[in-house]
Every structure is written in C-alpha cells, then in structure tokens.
Structure 1
Amino acid sequence: MSEHESHFSVWGFIKGFAKLIIGMLLMLQGLIGLIVLILIVGVMVEVTNGIAGSDEKVSVSIPDDAALVLDPNGVLVELAEDVNPLEVLRQEAYGVSEPTQIEVHDLVRVIRAAKDDKRIKGLVLDLGALGASPSSASKLHYISAEIAKFKESGKKVIAVGDYYSQDQYLLAANADEIYMNDYGNLFIYGYGSYGTYVKSLLEKLKITSHVFRVGTFKSAVEPFLRDDMSPEAKEANIGYLSVLWRDYASSVEKARGLQSGAVEDYANNLGALLETVDGDLGKAALKAGLVDELLSRAEMNDKLKAAFGADKDGKSFKKVSYMRYLASVDKPADGSDPNVVVITAAGTIIDGEAPTGRAAGGDTIAAQLRKAREDDKIKAVVLRVDSPGGSAFASDIIRDEILAIKAAGKPVVASMGSLAASGGYWISAAADEIWASPTTITGSIGIFGYFNTFENTAAEIGVYVDGVGTTDLAPILATGIGPLPASAADIIQQSTENGYDRFLTIVGEGRNLDKTYVDSVGQGRVWIGEKALELKLVDKLGTYDDAIAAAASLAGLEKYDVVDMKEKRTTFEMFMRNLSETMVAKLGGEKQHHAEGAVAKIVRAAEQQAEFFAEFNDPNAAYARCLTCQ
C-alpha cells in the first residue's frame, strides 16, 4: 500500500468516525427534545384534567367591588366552534386569526350571575369588537333583556365606545350612562334585504341555469332567474323586516326614555340633524339623546375610576373581564337530578357529520338525539334550532330521531333561536311544542334545486361533448359541459315536487294542520315569530329558558338539571383563550378593533364561498334552505 493510500484511509476513518459522533449527538438532541415535549404535553393534560375535573383544585379569584367588563371580541352565535387555544395563539401572533365566535348564552350567563354577586359592583359595556349578523336580532334582544334585569339590582351600568354600530347600540341603550368618543359616530339605518342578481350575466356568458323549485315565495334561486327582486319576495321580506325594525326602535326608545318614533326620525333625518351641529356625527347622536357624553378615552377611564374605584396601580378602574368571570361561575350541573337535555342544531344542516358549531350535521345531531333517547336519566329534550336549513335528507334523518324520542315517552320541545327556517322548521315540526321569540325568522316551507350547465359557453370556444349510452338517461353522464337531458330534468322536478309534498305532510302531521292550509302559509315564504304564532306554525312566544321550563313541565319534573349535550370548553381552554387576547393586547397596545388587511379579506371571502358550496351535499340534491334570510 502506498503512502498516499494509507493517508487516504486514515483520513477517511477519521471523517467517518466524526460523522458517527455528530449523528449520535443529533439523535440524542432529538430524543431529549421529544422527552421534553412529552413532559410538557403531559403536564398540560394533567392541568387541563385537574381544572376540568375538580372545582377544588383551581379557583379563579374575583376582586371585591369590581366592575364586570362585557367586552366580547367576535361574532355573536348560538353555538361556537371548538377552538384549539394554541392554534388561536399562533394565528393571532401572525395577525391572521379568524373572528372569534361569542356564544350568546355565555354572555347571558355572566350577566345573570353578576346580578346577585356581591363582589360585582356594576357592569361596563365595551362593545366595539362585537359583531352580529342581520338575522341575530333575537340574540341581541335576549342579552338586552338580561342587562335590563341586571339594572333592577341597583348596580350601575355604563357603556363606553369609540363608536357604536346599530347592533351594538341595542345593548348599549340599556346602560344608565352611554359615553362615546368625541370623534365617534352612531349610525342607525334600519333593516334591509338586498341581493345581487346575475340573470343577464349568465345569459351573456351563455350559461344555462337549471332551477327546480316549488313555492311562490321560494326566492333562494331568484338571483339566477331575474335581474331584480320579485314582488312576492319583496312582500315576504318587508313583512319580517318591518317587525325587526319596529322591535328594535321600541326597545331603544324604552331603554333611553325617548318618545315613540325618535329612533326612526334619527335614521330618516340624520342629514338634516347634522346641519344643525356642523356635520359632527357625535354631536348629532348627543343632540338626539342617544348618548350622554362625548369623551376621550382618557376621560372615559377617569369616569370609570370614579364610578368603580381605581385598580392597584391606579391607572385603570377596578374590573374583571367577562371571560375570567365566566370561568369562575360556569359550573355545569352534576346531573344528579333528572335531566332536561339541550341539543343544539346550529348552522346549515348538512348530510353526514359536522364539528360543533361549524354546521348541523344530520348524523351528528341524530346521534345526540339517539343518546338522549337511550339515557334513562334524561326525561325531556329541548331541541335548540338556529339554522337556515339545508339538506332535506339530513333534516329528515334528524326528524326520525325526534319521533323515536317521542315514541319512547319523552317530551321534545323545539326552541327556535334567531333563525329556524326551511330545514330548521322541518326538524322543529315534529316537537310536542315549538317556542319562538317574537323576532325569530322561521317558515320558508319549500324545496329547491339548482345547478348550471355550460354547453353553450363551451360551444363558443369550440368545445363539444358527444358519445353513446345504453339508455335514454345515460346522457346525464355528460351533463356539465354537455346539456341536461330533458328526461333528467323531468325526474329532478318530480323529485322536488315530491319533497315539497313531503314537507307539507311533515308539517301537517307535526302541527295537526290540514295540508292545504300548510301549503297556503308555505310556498317558501318567510315569517317572523309573532306572525308564525298567529299562523299556528309555533305554539308559544318566549325565551330559551321558557322552552326549558316547558319541557320539564311536560315531563312532570319539579326539580331537574339542565344538561347541554355538547363538548364544553374546559376552564383551562378559556384561560388560554383569555391569555392569548391579553398577549396580543400587550404586544399591539389595543384589542383587535382594527380592520383586517385586504389580502386577508380576500382569502377569508374565498374560504367562506368554498365552505358555502361544500354545504350543498344532499344525496338527492334537494334543499330546504332559506338563503335570503341569512
């Protein structure tokens, strides 16, 4: 062996040995990291289990004589989606977080508990980050009524804000004092229903629309068939919108001690009012008696310190956030007494399963109902419905389980939230009693199907479909780029008509009404709660709490526990959620009142549109869904 070869072999051995050592060190580092990760996860799981499983292990301290700050940061919903707290932290750190969902019952629960809590001196409404959809009126009225009851305790309620949206102001109006930023604004514009109509666009693009519907008022597909709203749709929409507006105005006027018509006058004549105050929106709201004082943020803070006392460092007032307070009072019933279970169908009804709060999966809700039927401790069921409807097939799967519960001798009460239309009414109709609020949007008894084909569009660019099939129906395989066969269109229309007839039968049997009468109030028309009572579509007007009491009464229960059949967030998860908001506030200064970026808006809009189309998954392509009332 030459000297060169010997040198090469020794050097190769040294390099190889070095690589082996480095590899072993890297493997050891990875193993240590894995062990540490497992330990951290184990500790977090143990803490979570400890907090969730024992009220004695962890207590949340609430300072005496503190103001409860109701400052929800998100969109008001019936049932929130399950949230991974660590994912929330990650998203917020990068500024791309989705709007938080705020459960209406969480807000009601904390206000109700604080009313008789000697530690709570008053209530501060900081509503600048609260959002609500136009169809959420009943949720806002529910919270508004609870704030009014809180005032009966003699404790002060103060509202603060840079500005107030129409929905936020419905809650703020109940305050003893309303402060607004001296450069703020209050817009009240009423309720409306406006759509985008694309019939002419589709014709120009030579897209063929195939519509299958039953019902004069089933306007869900009008945007594809017309360039304007039909007279029938206008009649139906103004019918329920007028009641929403009337109740909004009267509620605000009563809370503020204003003359009847004052709110409508403000909305209709804001321009003229601005002329008297040099165009200052804040002064216009002050002159109209809608706010009490125009102040800077620093001045508002001084007012709150004077009302509730200063905190330890003297920089702010003595307070506790509603999320922290919720963690201290939100103790579910132990279930030792007979149970009245609440099962919530919130969101679009889709076929199959769906995660909590995302949609009402037919199989998911049916499984919960089946569990309630088979559990001997459960004596009555409240089906809480807050849904525009959706899949007719999934709606029927849910209805079958309701009928099975009734056959087992357990009463079922349907409690309608803000929206229980189309499929939402389908699943409610079989209940022993239906309770709605005066502003619940319901009805919309109708069926539709819709899709497009592009044979004419394709022909414009020289694309054609041709082939052979073994039956007259086989050309349906080419539908899309190819046309829809007339035989297939006839089948779909007949199936749609059958679905509508089935809907009428279900309502007639459930409500003990003649099918002809149901058809006369059906036809896809939307009704407001108080009119639905008059038309015998609901039994009683009342709250969520009233429906629970009615279910217990039907079951002959004087003492009972109310149990939600849903996966509850643990105290640890709520703590993490609160911590994430605190961290972002510390890093960025203020809570997220700022508008999201343009790119984020586009991405979110695209995601929402994709989710919208994914909800149309009925196996028969038949939908009992109210698109115009969402």
Structure 2
Amino acid sequence: MTDYVGGQERSRLTVWQFFRGLAKVVVGGALFLQALLFIMVFAVLLSVLGSFGDQMKGKNEDGPSLKVPEGAALVFNPSGVLSENAPEQDPFEQALQEAFGGGSVGQVSVHELIRVIEHAKNDDRIQLLVLDLGGLVVPDAYLSKAHILADAIEDFRESGKRVVAVGDYYDQNQYMIASEADTVLMHDQGMLFFTGFGSFRTYYASMLEKLDVSVNVFRVGTFKSALEPVLRDGMSPEAKEANLTYLNGLWNSYTTRVDENRSFTPGATAAFANEFSSRLEAAGGDIAQAILDGGYVDDLADREAQRQFIKDIVGENDEGELNTVKLKKYKIGIKSPQDREDVKNIAVVTVEGAIIDGPQEPGVASGTYVAKQLREARKDDDIAAVVLRVDSPGGSAFASEVIRDELLAIKKAGKPVIVSMSSLAASGGYWIAAPADRIFAQPTTITGSIGIFSYLPTFEKLAARVGVNVDGVGTSPLSSIRGIPLAELPEELRTILQLNIEDGYEEFLTVVAEGRDLSLERVDEIGQGRVWIGSDAKERGLVDEFGGLPDAIAAAAKAAGLDEWDVVGLIKEKTRFELFLESLAGEAQAYGLISDDDELFVSRRTGFERTTLGAAAKLIDDELRFQRSFDDPNGIYVRCLECPIP
C-alpha cells in the first residue's frame, strides 16, 4: 500500500508487514543462535576427541587423566535426593547441560552409591573415603535408605580403610551417615541440630466450611486419618497415637546408631537433643562448640584446615592438588556386571512413588507399566524368580490390584516372588506386597496402613452463593450425578459409595489374610488404617525378615534352586554410545571446559527451598502434584497419607 504526500510516493507499513518483518528477525536470530550453539558444541568435541582414546587407557601424558591415582582419596559427594532409583536421563542432553552450565539437582540412586563404595573398598588405589554430604538430601521418610548407605560405609571402614567426613554443616540425616566416619570434621562456624522426627499436617476443615465446599468422605479404619485435613482442624487422638508410635521407632533407630558410632552410652543422643539449649548455654551460645563438646565431631576446622587434614593422609599430585578422585569421574570407570548366557536371572521390578492408574510419569508408579514388567518377567524363560522392590505409600486401589494380579500369575507359573520393602510400603504398597512368598523390610521401613477411602468434594453451596444452581430431571435416583461437582451427591450414591468402601476394606483384609496366612480377625486388629514401623510390623506378622535388597535377591535365588544367577532390571545397562558421552563429559571437565561441581565444600542445593517463601511455594507445588495422583477410575484409594512422603 502507498500514500502520496507532497506529490511524492511513500510506502506505508501495514500491521501485517510489521509482524512479518519481526518474524523474519526472530527466526533469523534463532537460526544464528542455533548455528552458534552447534559451533560451540563442535569445538568442545574437537578439543577432547583428540585425546579421547589415550585418556580412556589412562596414557595421555600431555594433559589431565581420568586414571585413578595410587593411594588416592575418593571424594564421596553425591548430589540430589537419596532415592530408590534415579530417573533415566538422555545422556546427550545431560552432556550438553553440563557443558553449558545447565541442569538441576535431581535424584541419586542409593543402590548406585552403594555399588561405588563396594567397588572402592576392593580398589587398591583407594585408601581413603572422604564423605562430603552437603549436596545429599535425605528426607525423613527415606531414613531406611540412609541406614543401608551407612551400612556400606561401615563395611568400607571395617575393611581396614579410613573414612573422614568433612563439611561446613550437617543436617540431622546427613550426620547419621557421616557418623560412620573415623573422623568427623565441621567448620568452626557450622552447625548441627538434632530435631528428632515429627508428623505435622495442614488442616483446613474450617476454611472449606467458610467456602461452602461440601466434604463427602467414605472410609473404613479407626486409624485411617488420611482425610482428617478436610474433616478436622487438628490431628485426632487416634492419629497422634499411631504416628507417635512409628516416629518413636524411627528416632530410636537413629539415636541408637549415632550412639554406637560415637561410642556413647545408650540414650546419650536423645538426651543431648532434649537438653540442647542448656548445652548451648554452657558453650556460650556457640553451636559448633556445643556440638564439639558433645563429642559429635572430632574437630572444628575451616575449609582450608579440612583440606590440609586430607592432604596429610593422601598427599598431593604432580599439579599440587589433593590426591583425590571425585565421585562423578570414579563412577565412569566402574563396569556394570554383564548377563551370562549360561545362568538364570533374578528380575528386580521396582514400584517407586504413588501407585496410579494413568500413564507413567516421574515420581509415580504406573500400575499398567509395572504390570507389563511383571508380565514380561513371567513369560521370560531365562528369569527364574522375581524380586518386587516396593517404595510406595500406595494410591489407586484399581492399579494396585492390577499389579497384584500379575504377581499371582507369576506364582502360578511356578516362579518365586520375594518382596523387598524400601522406605515405604504402606496401604497400596502393602496390598501388592502381601501375596509374596517372603517379605523383607528394614526395621525403619514404614508399612501397614491397611485401610481404604474415597473423597469427592462438591461445590453446590459455593456455586449457589454466587448465583449458580443446577437443576433438571432424570430417569433414576442416580441420574443427578451429571450435575456433580456443582450439585450435591445423591443420597443413593452416598449409600453405594460407602457400601463399596466397606466391601473394599473386606477385600483388603482378605488379600492380606490369604497372603500372610492370618485370620481376617487378626488382620482387622492390626489393620484399621494404622501405620507400623518395620520392627513392629515383623512382630505382627506383616513382615518375615529384616534385610535389604541383596538379602531378598539371595532368598529368591534359594527359592528358585539357583546356585548362580544374574540380576536384571535393577540398573538399566548403558549402551557404548551412552558410556562414550559420559566419558566425554568427564574429559571436558578434566580439561576445565566445563565447571567441576564435585569440588570439596561446594553447596549443590538450591537456595530457594531454604527461604520461607521458597518453602511455602514448595508446599503449594507438592499439594498440586499430590492432587494429580488421585486418578483411580472408581475413586477408591488404598493410600497412606499419614506417611511422611517427601
């Protein structure tokens, strides 16, 4: 389009031409950035590929090497939430994130960490294990994982090798692991609090009442306090009794271990926690000094002094740096065991997170996906037995039953099924455990919670308050359900739901009674939605033996009559290309092309959650994720909401 001004032709820019031109600029800029990124990545690849072959053999004399030096210290500094299994990540994406400073703290597998420690124990090049646990997050609910990690460190120390713990500060659960060290060092401005364990929830029954939200709850179980937040403004006496029982069990296991590791008299740590204010007053308000006076650390030392302590043991390398190898680099050289064609396999299938009926996503266990794994294990002639590793508070009753059906089919096919409970195996987690031939748990495993509930909020009163009403006609008493959630539940539906819940509870009792060879009356007595700690669950017949995953695998092999076996399914084997990319990332790090986040004392936690606002935001995010996990097609759940889920 043109205009004529002063007898001259002038082009007039239309809105469409403006945005079309802007789009060209944006697209052109994006293409330029893409090309620039490709050049940068290609430059990184070229800079390390030249020495890649020699570096893999540890023979490069012109630059840094990934070869483990003799007499070195392994810096054990995992970063992330201590979990059953770390989620799979695309190796190329991970390499790019590391190369350009991206990525975030996620999860770290306790089994992979244990495998590293066991390898280092038998590695003559490693003489010292340095625990730098500042980046390891251990939720209270995962205390049993901290215990088995501590067991591995204890085994390393008992082999005759030394263990030293260093850090600016320790949180309570980090310290339990660190207490396994021969020497525990802490910064002179550091701190350590023994807070014990607690169960605190947010109750909003009054808020829902003020908002005119109708709470429709259907449940069975005296101790099934899962829905108390929407029914009460505080914890019921029954819930307090049940929760305090298992919390005392967790606290007793914690303090007992610390007392033993620090050679204290029994009960010393519990007493220290109860008297901390007076201990602090005696130390002049200096927390670090109070911890030292209490005997929980061996010395207070700043970062340089802690480095010097390690240097006095392992010395320095040719570059004048500590003679250490970092966890990330050390892991690269550890080969995963390869399956042997001439022996049978034990399949380990993991159920981690809330059990849902929908598609699999991080942090949850899809009933369909787990059942598919179990079905493949049943049909595979090379698999002689199955170990079900359970780390779940339960969830969808329907999805739990889908998993149990496959377990029963495996047993019918003549293959033993052994359950290994991790930190949580409650409610639906116990539903799927009950049919097993044997159940292994840790003394600190949280289990039980044999109960069932349904919860359907409706908003008819809130809608009416703003002038919205639902009305209509139908051909049966249930026709009005088409108006939910802006219409109240029909009385007929209330009756149906409650009857269905009661029937579901009876089915839960039957599942446990048949699986554990107990009477229905006995299961009901220890059921009623009550949560038990592993030690109490064993006394009540819900658990057979104490032991970890290796014990369960050995029991499965024995039940299958195997003298030799391989384990499949626990850790996904990496392809040669994936191993190449991991090594490439390690090479780039060694050359300083990417940052070394494995340096001693580097904080690897995000600071956001450590602020009041960040903690509040996390609560909201956790609640949203929690609500999304309720997807049972029948609206019926066997889930332990009392459990301290991280």
TM over 0.5, yes or no? yes
Question: Which residue in 2 is equivalent to 1:164?
Answer: 170
Question: Which residue in 1 is equivalent to 2:117?
Answer: 111
What does residue range 189-338 of structure 1 map to in structure 2 within 5 Å? Answer: 189-315=195-321, 317-336=322-341, 337-338=343-344
**Mapped contact 2:80–2:108 kept (Cα < 8 A):** yes
Question: Which residue in 2 is equivalent to 1:526?
Answer: 531
Deviation at 1:100, TM superposition (A): 1.6
What does residue range 146-161 of structure 1 map to in structure 2 within 5 Å? Answer: 146-161=152-167
Deviation at 1:506, TM superposition (A): 0.8
Question: Which residue in 1 is equivalent to 2:145?
Answer: 139
**Mapped contact 2:92–2:581 kept (Cα < 8 A):** no
What are the superposed Cα offsets for residues 346-373 of structure 1, whole Å, 9 maximum, x if unpaired?
Answer: 1111114314x53111111111111111
Question: Which residue in 1 is equivalent to 2:628?
Answer: 614
Query: d(CA) in 2 for partners of 1:463 and 1:270?
Result: 57
1:371 aligns with 2:379: no
Deviation at 1:340, TM superposition (A): 0.9
Question: Which residue in 1 is equivalent to 2:608?
Answer: 596
**Mapped contact 2:101–2:595 kept (Cα < 8 A):** no
1:69 aligns with 2:81: no
Query: d(CA) in 2 for partners of 1:425 and 1:468?
Result: 44
Residue identity in the other structure for 1:592: R
Residue identity in the other structure for 1:617: D
Residue identity in the other structure for 1:168: Q
Query: d(CA) in 2 for partners of 1:311 and 1:497?
Result: 69
Q: 2:579 aligns with which of 557, 571, 575?
A: 571
1:182 aligns with 2:188: yes
Question: Which residue in 1 is equivalent to 2:639?
Answer: 625
Deviation at 1:83, TM superposition (A): 2.0
**Mapped contact 1:60–1:327 kept (Cα < 8 A):** no
Deviation at 1:85, TM superposition (A): 4.6
Residue identity in the other structure for 2:515: G
Query: d(CA) in 1 for partners of 2:388 and 2:172?
Result: 30
Question: Which residue in 1 is equivalent to 2:8?
Answer: none
Residue identity in the other structure for 2:516: R
Would the alpha carbon gap of residues 393 and 281 (structure 1) be closer, same or farther in structure 2, given more than 3 Å must change?
A: same
Deviation at 1:502, TM superposition (A): 1.0
Query: d(CA) in 2 for partners of 1:67 and 1:138?
Result: 27
Would the alpha carbon gap of residues 455 and 409 (structure 1) be closer, same or farther in structure 2, given more than 3 Å must change?
A: same
Q: 2:504 aligns with which of 461, 482, 499?
A: 499
Residue identity in the other structure for 2:412: A
Question: Which residue in 2 is equivalent to 1:425?
Answer: 430
Deviation at 1:461, TM superposition (A): 2.1
Residue identity in the other structure for 1:175: A
Q: 1:482 aligns with which of 480, 487, 492?
A: 487
**Mapped contact 1:174–1:255 kept (Cα < 8 A):** yes
Query: d(CA) in 2 for partners of 1:587 and 1:543?
Result: 29
1:408 aligns with 2:420: no
Would the alpha carbon gap of residues 156 and 379 (structure 1) be closer, same or farther in structure 2, given more than 3 Å must change?
A: same
Query: d(CA) in 1 for partners of 2:597 and 2:418?
Result: 46
Question: Which residue in 2 is equivalent to 1:440?
Answer: 445
**Mapped contact 2:77–2:327 kept (Cα < 8 A):** yes
Query: d(CA) in 2 for partners of 1:89 and 1:204?
Result: 52
Query: d(CA) in 1 for partners of 2:580 and 2:618?
Result: 29
Would the alpha carbon gap of residues 335 and 345 (structure 1) be closer, same or farther in structure 2, given more than 3 Å must change?
A: farther
Question: Which residue in 2 is equivalent to 1:10?
Answer: none
**Mapped contact 2:82–2:137 kept (Cα < 8 A):** yes
What are the superposed Cα offsets for residues 244-284 of structure 1, whole Å, 9 maximum, x if unpaired?
Answer: 11110010011111122211122111110111111000000
Query: d(CA) in 2 for partners of 1:496 and 1:111?
Result: 47
Would the alpha carbon gap of residues 402 and 576 (structure 1) be closer, same or farther in structure 2, given more than 3 Å must change?
A: farther
What does residue range 532-571 of structure 1 map to in structure 2 within 5 Å? Answer: 532-564=537-569, 567-568=572-573, 570-571=578-579
Query: d(CA) in 2 for partners of 1:95 and 1:464?
Result: 54
**Mapped contact 1:412–1:551 kept (Cα < 8 A):** yes
Would the alpha carbon gap of residues 587 and 155 (structure 1) be closer, same or farther in structure 2, given more than 3 Å must change?
A: closer
**Mapped contact 1:96–1:600 kept (Cα < 8 A):** no
Deviation at 1:313, TM superposition (A): 2.1
Deviation at 1:218, TM superposition (A): 0.6
Gaps of 5+ in 1: 1-22
What are the superposed Cα offsets for residues 97-137 of structure 1, whole Å, 9 maximum, x if unpaired?
Answer: 54320111011111111111101111000001111111111
Gaps of 5+ in 2: 1-23, 60-64
1:389 aligns with 2:394: yes
Deviation at 1:615, TM superposition (A): 1.1
1:80 aligns with 2:97: no
**Mapped contact 2:344–2:382 kept (Cα < 8 A):** yes
Deviation at 1:226, TM superposition (A): 1.0
Residue identity in the other structure for 1:506: V
Residue identity in the other structure for 1:128: G
Question: Which residue in 2 is equivalent to 1:101?
Answer: 107
Residue identity in the other structure for 2:368: D
Query: d(CA) in 2 for partners of 1:297 and 1:276?
Result: 26
Deviation at 1:592, TM superposition (A): 2.5
Query: d(CA) in 2 for partners of 1:92 and 1:232?
Result: 50
SS for the counterpart of 1:406 is helix
**Mapped contact 1:341–1:372 kept (Cα < 8 A):** yes
Moved more, 171-180 or 334-343: 334-343
Deviation at 1:469, TM superposition (A): 2.0
Would the alpha carbon gap of residues 334 and 184 (structure 1) be closer, same or farther in structure 2, given more than 3 Å must change?
A: same
Question: Which residue in 2 is equivalent to 1:515?
Answer: 520
**Mapped contact 2:98–2:585 kept (Cα < 8 A):** no
Normalized against structure 1, the TM-score is what? 0.88
Query: d(CA) in 1 for partners of 2:93 and 2:107?
Result: 15
Would the alpha carbon gap of residues 568 and 215 (structure 1) be closer, same or farther in structure 2, given more than 3 Å must change?
A: farther
Query: d(CA) in 2 for partners of 1:409 and 1:491?
Result: 39
